[in-house]
Amino acid sequence: MKEEVVIRAKGLTKAFRDVVAVEKIDFSVNKQECFGFLGPNGAGKTTTVRMVSCFIEPTSGFLEVLGRQVQKEPRLIKANIGVCPQENNLDPDLTVEDNLRVFARYFDIVGKDALARCEMLLHFVGLYPKRKSAIEELSGGMKRRLIIARSLVNSPGLLILDEPTTGLDPQARHQVWETILRLKKEGTTVLLTTHYMDEAAHLCDRIVIMDKGRIVVSGSPKELIRRVVASHVIEISSGAPGIEDYLNSKGLAYEKTQTHFFVYTSFGPQDFEDVLRKFGDSLCALRMANLEDVFLKLTGRELRE
């Protein structure tokens, strides 16, 4: 059976004057999957989701959301998607439940229907006991969950989350993850951006990594780890003398940073034993490769402001 495609982008491009924020990207998102955009700051993630959300128009290229072209039917698309922007934009003058109810009115959901829908959503994100509270009484994680609830008011066929957990403490992050996983289980299609690799690995069926407006790589987290890195990583503190010669003589793939050697290998335990025998006095560790290794290998280690 052919999978139903919710978002289809081809040659999608957005330029702001002389800055090309998104350059000729192709991707598609299937129904009921959680699709992640990863990338350092300035990669073009927000610009991409803003085009999908019909907040800004593409400069060129093809972009279809829920079977409709963004340039032709933006209002129809907007009515059927939910969007959680990167920044908190709740109305501070309204209570928790009124933030939802006013939003429901935009979608012509009023009266008893609105009441029932908002109540259900407040239960869903665990904020029902806080329904009469002012926004400023909420923690960062609660605000995020309220924004997620608000984006679900119109029962969207696609949910878009731009950095849903940035700035949250670990507990709050896990609560937001749980909310997203429950939505996924119920069959909601989710498009999210993040720069947390563990978040992408935890939530996403497929991801793309963007850098400087382009898609560098795409696939499932597992597949990317296997393809770009290897199954295991051996970390060796760079103080040990002779390491580089040893790694070269063994033909092992590695990367060198100020503090460490990162050795990528599909024979982790074996290679680790050899390394320990030779360099056991230095700090050595064997671990499974993860998405962060993929990310750093592809986008480099220099800081992006």
Ligand X SMILES: Nc1ncnc2c1ncn2[C@@H]1O[C@H](COP(=O)(O)OP(=O)(O)O)[C@@H](O)[C@H]1O
- Which positions from 26 through 45 interact with ligand X, judged by CB under 6 A? 39, 41-45
Residue range at the interface with ligand X (CB under 6 A); choices 13-21, 88-96, 97-105, 129-137: 13-21
Q: Which of ligand X, Mg ion, none interacts with 13 (beta carbon under 5 to 8 A by kind)? A: none
Q: Does 99 help bind Mg ion (rule: CB under 5 A)?
A: no
Instruction: Give the separation between CA 163 and CA 17, rounded to whole angstroms.
Output: 25
Find the shortest distance in angstroms from Cβ 39 to ligand X. 5
In whole angstroms, the minimum distance from the beta carbon of 219 to Mg ion comes to 22
CA torsion through residues 256, 257, 261, 264, sign: negative
The first and second tokens of residue 4, run together, are 């139903």
Q: What is the residue type of 244? A: E
Kindly state the tokens that stand for 251: 């033909």
With binding defined as CB under 6 A, does residue 21 bind ligand X?
yes
SS3 7: strand
Residue nearest Mg ion by beta-carbon distance: 46
Among 7, 35, 47, 125, binds ligand X (CB under 6 A): 47
Contact indicator for 234, 275 with CB cutoff of 8 Å:
yes
Q: Using the rule CB under 5 A, give the single segment among 43-51, 73-81, 112-120, 201-209 that binds Mg ion.
A: 43-51
Q: What is the size of the binding site for ligand X (CB under 6 A)?
A: 11
Which of Mg ion, ligand X, none sits in contact with 154, Cβ below 5 to 8 A by type?
none
CA-based nearest residue to 80, from 97, 67, 93: 67
182 is written with which tokens?
Answer: 């429950």
CB of 157 to ligand X, least distance (A): 24
Contact 213, 44 (CB under 8 A): yes
Q: What distance in Å separates the CA atoms of residue 51 and residue 301, rounded to the nearest whole number?
A: 29
Site for ligand X, rule CB under 6 A: 16, 19, 21, 39, 41-47
| Residues that bind Mg ion in the complex, under the rule CB under 5 A | 45-46
